[in-house]
Amino acid sequence: MIWDLLGMAILVTGGSSGLGRAIAERFAIDGNDVFVNYHSNDEAAAEAGAAIAAAGGTPHLVKADVGTVEGVREVVGVVREHTDRLDQLVHCAAKAINGPLLDLDPESLRESVILNGLSIVDLIRESGDLLGKGSVVFYLSSRGGRFVINEYGALGTAKALGEHVVRYLAKELGPRGIRVITIAPGAVDTTALRSMFPDTYEERLAASAAANPLGRGVEMDDAAALVEALCHPGLEMVNGQTITVDGGLSL
């Protein structure tokens, strides 16, 4: 690219594994502050921190539940201890539960909707003046936010909500020069996918790859590369959109 990512600070929720980690590592260069929020897996977080450091970034691991306002405030508090600006805020954290909506535990369903669909509002509100002109907020969605996938209702409906929340936030934050964008990758081999479909995830990934017009499945770095590209100041008019990364499969 004809610009660089030096001197930036990025917060990635759910950044200890999967797409979140891929994005965090993408920005881990030349001492950039990379704040990785995670909920429970200390081992995965330590591995992500080591990978960020090896790539040249400065990792900050923050264990907290961003599905609660208190957890969001804890994360943002740590960020404020190290920087006075966030150039990117990436919301990847998700509560992965599967099954028919009517069969799900009611409390778990509500937790999924809040974390996956609404907590981005809390993250932006609590970040306050850390976000300024040129900052970009990314929300990670999925195909299930637009299409019905069997036993994916908890995530799918929450992602659909999150995508529309992004549109409203883009209108609200535009006057401050802050953009909000949804990235919606196709099926990717992540811990969340494996936990939701432990018996069929390999079959699902193979089927997606076989049907893809480009002849392969979606990889984590495909989404991470798009996040990096959209931070370019020359793309400031891309705002409030849901951008699909699936090689044309959903066409």
Neighbours of 105 (CB within 10 A): 12
Residue 89 pairs with which residues in a beta bridge? Answer: 11, 137
Q: What is the pLDDT of residue 56?
A: 95
Beta strand ranges found along the chain (DSSP E): 9-13, 33-38, 58-63, 88-91, 136-140, 179-185, 242-245
The residues, any chain, with a CB within 8 Å of residue 44's CB and separated by 6 or more, are 16, 17, 38, 191
pLDDT(3) > 70: no
pLDDT in tens, 63-75: 999 999 999 999 9
77 CB neighbour count, 10 Å cutoff: 12
Terminal CA-CA length for the chain: 28
Q: How far apart are CA 85 and CA 151, in angstroms?
A: 40
Q: Which residues are catalytic?
A: 152, 159
pLDDT band (50, 70, 90) for residue 197: confident
Q: Is the pLDDT of residue 85 over 50?
A: yes
Determine which helix (DSSP H) or strand (DSSP E) holds 10, and give its type and residue range: strand 9-13
Kindly indicate the confidence band of residue 4, based on its pLDDT and cuts at 50, 70 and 90.
Answer: low
pLDDT tens column, 91-123: 999 988 899 999 999 999 999 999 999 999 999
Give me the count of residues in the chain. 251
Which amino acid is it at 212?
N
Token reading at 146? 């637009």
Over residues 162-181, the pLDDT tens digits come to: 999 999 999 999 999 999 99
Residue 25, token pair as written in the block: 């590592």
The predicted model gives 137-156 an average pLDDT of: 91
Domain 9-245 has CATH 1.20.1290.10: no
pLDDT tens, position by position, 22-46: 999 999 998 999 999 999 999 999 9
Sign of CA dihedral 111, 74, 221, 223: positive
Domain positions in the chain: 9-245
Average pLDDT for 125-151:
93
pTM: 0.94
Mean pLDDT of all residues in 200-229: 93
> Hey, what are 242's tokens?
């849901």
Give φ, ψ of 80 to 5 degrees.
-65, -25
Measured at the alpha carbon of residue 238, what is the angle toward residues 56 and 91, in degrees to the nearest 5?
Answer: 50
